[in-house]
Amino acid sequence: MQKYFKWGLVVMLWVVSAFLTFVFVNSGWPKFSNSSGWARAFTTWGYPTWFRVLVGVIEVLGGVLLLLPWTAMYAAMALAVIMLGAMSTHIAHGNPAGVSHEVFPLALLAGVIYLRWRGKKKRES
């Protein structure tokens, strides 16, 4: 029974990682365009263009690196920082309801961090 539970966790981890890859690559890619809604939003929030592009790079690269077991935990940590920054931006600019968009991906990232960390600890011992 425990063997099936372990395989279930492995499958779930891969499904969640693939989902997060889809979410972050699709969210990050438009940040490279100067005519996207993201360009207007970052300008409205008072952030420089380079910061928007940096966030896009972290989202796209982090999304892809979630699919590599040896980098997934670190990618999830970087993406979690991006999500916390997005939540802070929503709150600071009077849109606390906007935080709800980041809660689910942040929770999934926390799960990836935990499961990858746990797996790393088991391999080290």
**Tens-place pLDDT, residues 32-85:** 999 999 999 999 999 999 999 999 999 999 999 999 999 999 999 999 999 999
The pLDDT mean for the chain works out to 93
Q: Are 56 and 28 in contact (CB under 8 A)?
A: yes
Tens of pLDDT along 6-20? Answer: 888 889 999 999 999
- pTM greater than 0.85 (yes/no): yes
Yes or no: say if 83 and 59 are a contact pair by the CB < 8 Å rule.
no
Q: Is the pLDDT higher at 116 or at 5?
A: 116
For residues 100 and 89, give the distance between their C-alpha atoms in angstroms, rounded to a whole number. Answer: 13
pLDDT band of residue 125 (cuts 50, 70, 90) is low
Confidence label for 98 from pLDDT (cuts 50, 70 and 90): confident
What pLDDT, on the 0 to 100 scale, is given for residue 118?
83
Contact 32, 56 (CB under 8 A): yes
Write down the pLDDT at residue 119: 77
Give the model's confidence band at 2: pLDDT under 50 very low, under 70 low, under 90 confident, else very high: confident
